Chain A
Amino acid sequence: MTSRIGEAFSGAGRPLLVACLVAGDPSEEVSLELMREAESCGADIIELVMPHSDPVADGPVMQKAMQRALHAGTTPGTLFTLVREFRARSGTPVLVLTYANIVVQRGIESFYRDAAAAGADGIAVADAPLEEADPFCRAARESGIDQILFVSQTTSRERLEKIAAKASGFLYLVAVLGVTGDREKIDPRVIGILQAVKAVSTLPVVPGFGIGTAGQVREMVRAGADGVIAGSAIVREVERALNDPRGTREAVGAKVRELASALR
């Protein structure tokens, strides 16, 4: 069975924009509006982050957003409600990204089952590499959703093959050596890695981390990316207009539109 994420890549005929938002940032209500705004401005897949108190893979922009969301009382229940309400009106794929402990505390099977029931199409766990991925992959299979796995420029060819064999949906290519957040330039080594990943897998390869401008999106597409993931660049717009929900929506929409235009 092809997943909604798989269909999005195969059916679009162009690279896709994965737009990332933090669930509950700055509030549950505004968060749902931002998901809808991102979709209407050209996001092909929504990546919704379930915040964690100790996000070791994330830079300052995402850290602050997660703190805001946790401060607003965000729990996995909030996340599933957001997905359910978004799904009620939309067929756009939703990917959930979080950290292992959030999933483990709910019970891995329960978390995946609840996510799938709410209408999520895939889950990525930032700190569950190949060595720890099995229980998560199993739960994803049983729940009928995709397990998105990460590859990076430090991943050996041997690991690439093993990761590609376990992943579904797409491969998330960590495009920088470092944490999430804007970078001035694309690391030139990413181009080589992209090719290496595509050589071992038929799954779409989608870089994320450090991609935040239309120029960087184009550069990744030229290098052969099947899509791009933009996180901090979008989430920063939330931070800019915190006390003004309409302003937040407009700012997020404008950023998504800018990035999406580079893919059309």
Chain B
Amino acid sequence: MTDPSRFGVYGGQFVPETLMAALEELEHAFRTIVPKEEFQEEMRYYLHEYAGRKTPLTFCRNVSRDFGCRVYLKREDLLHSGAHKLNNALGQALLARFMGKRRLIAETGAGQHGVATAIAGAVLGMQVVVYMGDEDIERQALNVVRMKMLGAQVTPVSSGSRTLKDAINEALRDWVANVETTHYLIGSVVGPHPFPTMVRDFQTVIGTETREQVLEKEGRLPDAIVACVGGGSNAIGIFTPFLDEKTRLYGAEAGGEGPGGRHGATLCRGRPGVLHGAYSYLIQDAFGQILESHSISAGLDYPGVGPEHSFLRDCGRVSYYQVTDREALDAFFYLSRSEGIIPALESAHAVSLAERVASGLAKDDILVINLSGRGDKDVAQVAALAGDTL
């Protein structure tokens, strides 16, 4: 019998005993409530009427000319809130409401998941508290203001590296203390079971739509799909419906400063271990202490990764590569100027890797890039980095 909490050897439920009852309750709700027509109908309403699904699959004439193959962008940047995070936030918030919980807590790095949770909380009438590292609050000021405008409380986290990892620690501590009234709305395919499976299922809408759209436009499946991987939810979301197909799948990790420098390339440069409830690849020292990650994009600045990605890496189904800060920045400007689409810095990593992948493709080959979010949140940071060259 396969253990539903594992992906091969990865995953599991490494949490304090105090949380186990909540995980059992959540797993039960996920298994019994989500498949119900009543839930699915609500979900369809929120995704289609409210969030703006389905998102387009855009054929990019200019990028296709430059890359030398047929390039499509899956436009999660056009989803309400500006990123794919809302698919999962709406799903989990709705599930929490069905479970009778009134309070949502979330962690956020880039702020996109915090904004998505704040939006879901506002529209579903639930209280929202978002934990965010001090350093991220500084570099993602726009999203902090958005969350507050949406009625969420943003709680700064000043422990550890003051980034996403520490925000997750604080959210877990809050959940332990308020487990009876509160749902912890994890923003990626990380954490203890059932989160990696549940978040994947809520994000799979990206891949399901992509499959339908590409079949409609091209009459066949794509040759390659590229997505960025921090925790890995947008990547899992678009990969899942293609796992049993011949489509080659590529994940772009944060190469940060490049060889020898700081990075967020957990799968390329890390080693398996336990963090935030799951056994998965980690960036850690020889003794198991977690090291600080680095990326130009806050959303990829995380020393862990979803356990299913660890499994997909080991079995070779998905190939993971590093994209440096510099390369991501170049791709950010490239897409902005070639197609008039400003990508999130996270998604710019996928664009950069796609260019590399395209060099091995033929003219008629089909390449899909998951454009997981738009770059409005990053314009101040990029402007500061670019300085006079802008």
A residues adjacent to B (C-beta < 8 A)? 52-57, 59-60, 63, 70, 75-76, 99-106, 126-132, 149-156, 159, 163, 174, 176-179
Interface residue? B165 (CB, 8 A)? yes
Given contacts A101-B273, A104-B273, contact A129 B13 (CB under 8 A): yes
Q: What's the Cα separation between A63 and B277 when bound, in Å?
A: 18
Whether the pair B289, A154 counts as a contact (CB closer than 8 A) is: no
- Which among B14, B17, B22, B286 has the greatest number of chain A C-beta atoms within 10 A? B17
Spot the interface stretch: B71-79, B171-179, B315-323. B171-179
**Chain A minimum-CB-distance residue to B291:** A53
Name the distance in Å between A83's Cβ and chain B's nearest Cβ.
16
Name the distance in Å between B65's Cβ and chain A's nearest Cβ.
47
- Chosen A-B contacts, 21 in total, with CB atoms closer than 8 Å, are A54-B160, A54-B165, A54-B290, A55-B169, A60-B159, A100-B14, A101-B282, A102-B287, A102-B288, A104-B274, A128-B14, A129-B13, A129-B14, A129-B16, A132-B13, A132-B14, A152-B17, A152-B18, A178-B18, A178-B177, A179-B173
Given contacts A76-B287, A102-B288, contact A54 B17 (CB under 8 A): no
Whether the pair A52, B288 counts as a contact (CB closer than 8 A) is: yes
Contacts of A103 in B (CB 8 A): 288
Given A101-B288, A102-B288, 13 extra CB contacts under 8 A: A54-B166, A54-B276, A54-B290, A104-B279, A105-B273, A127-B16, A129-B13, A129-B17, A130-B20, A131-B5, A132-B12, A154-B17, A156-B21
Contacts of B12 in A (CB 8 A): 131-132
Whether the pair A52, B16 counts as a contact (CB closer than 8 A) is: no
**Chain A minimum-CB-distance residue to B271:** A105
Name the distance in Å between B133's Cβ and chain A's nearest Cβ.
13
Whether the pair B179, A174 counts as a contact (CB closer than 8 A) is: no
Q: What's the Cα separation between A179 and B180 when bound, in Å?
A: 15
Given contacts A102-B288, A106-B288, A131-B12, contact A155 B173 (CB under 8 A): no
Whether the pair B169, A56 counts as a contact (CB closer than 8 A) is: yes
Interface residue? B275 (CB, 8 A)? yes
**Chain B minimum-CB-distance residue to A151:** B17
Interface residue? B203 (CB, 8 A)? no
Q: What's the Cα separation between A131 and B275 when bound, in Å?
A: 16
Closest 10 CB pairs of A and B: A105-B288, A178-B177, A154-B21, A150-B17, A101-B274, A101-B288, A53-B289, A100-B274, A152-B18, A57-B16
Q: What's the Cα separation between A105 and B273 when bound, in Å?
A: 7
Whether the pair B18, A177 counts as a contact (CB closer than 8 A) is: yes
Interface residue? B335 (CB, 8 A)? no
Whether the pair B20, A57 counts as a contact (CB closer than 8 A) is: no
Contacts of A57 in B (CB 8 A): 16, 18, 173, 176
Interface residue? B284 (CB, 8 A)? yes
Contacts of B173 in A (CB 8 A): 56-57, 59, 178-179
Contacts of A149 in B (CB 8 A): 17
Contacts of A55 in B (CB 8 A): 169
Name the distance in Å between B153's Cβ and chain A's nearest Cβ.
19
Contact residue among B18, B166, B282 (Cβ-Cβ distance under 8 Å from A154) = B18
Interface residue? B15 (CB, 8 A)? yes
Whether the pair A127, B177 counts as a contact (CB closer than 8 A) is: no
**Chain A minimum-CB-distance residue to B172:** A56
Name the distance in Å between B20's Cβ and chain A's nearest Cβ.
5
> How many residues of chain B get a CB closer than 8 Å to chain A's CBs?
37
Contacts of B180 in A (CB 8 A): 177
Contact residue among A76, A129, A156, A177 (Cβ-Cβ distance under 8 Å from B15) = A129
Contacts of B20 in A (CB 8 A): 129-131, 154-155, 159
Contacts of B13 in A (CB 8 A): 129, 131-132
Name the distance in Å between A190's Cβ and chain B's nearest Cβ.
12
- Which among A52, A53, A100, A176 has the greatest number of chain B C-beta atoms within 10 A? A53
Q: What's the Cα separation between A101 and B304 when bound, in Å?
A: 13
Q: What's the Cα separation between A246 and B178 when bound, in Å?
A: 40
Name the distance in Å between B278's Cβ and chain A's nearest Cβ.
10
Contacts of B279 in A (CB 8 A): 104
Whether the pair B288, A150 counts as a contact (CB closer than 8 A) is: no
Name the distance in Å between B21's Cβ and chain A's nearest Cβ.
4
Q: What's the Cα separation between A150 and B20 when bound, in Å?
A: 11
Q: What's the Cα separation between A99 and B277 when bound, in Å?
A: 11
Contacts of B166 in A (CB 8 A): 54
Whether the pair A101, B275 counts as a contact (CB closer than 8 A) is: yes
- Which among B20, B274, B277, B282 has the greatest number of chain A C-beta atoms within 10 A? B274
Contacts of B14 in A (CB 8 A): 100, 127-129, 132
Name the distance in Å between B161's Cβ and chain A's nearest Cβ.
9
Name the distance in Å between A73's Cβ and chain B's nearest Cβ.
10
Whether the pair B179, A154 counts as a contact (CB closer than 8 A) is: yes
Contact residue among B5, B277, B284 (Cβ-Cβ distance under 8 Å from A127) = B277
Contacts of A163 in B (CB 8 A): 17
- Which among A70, A76, A105 has the greatest number of chain B C-beta atoms within 10 A? A105
Whether the pair A56, B290 counts as a contact (CB closer than 8 A) is: no
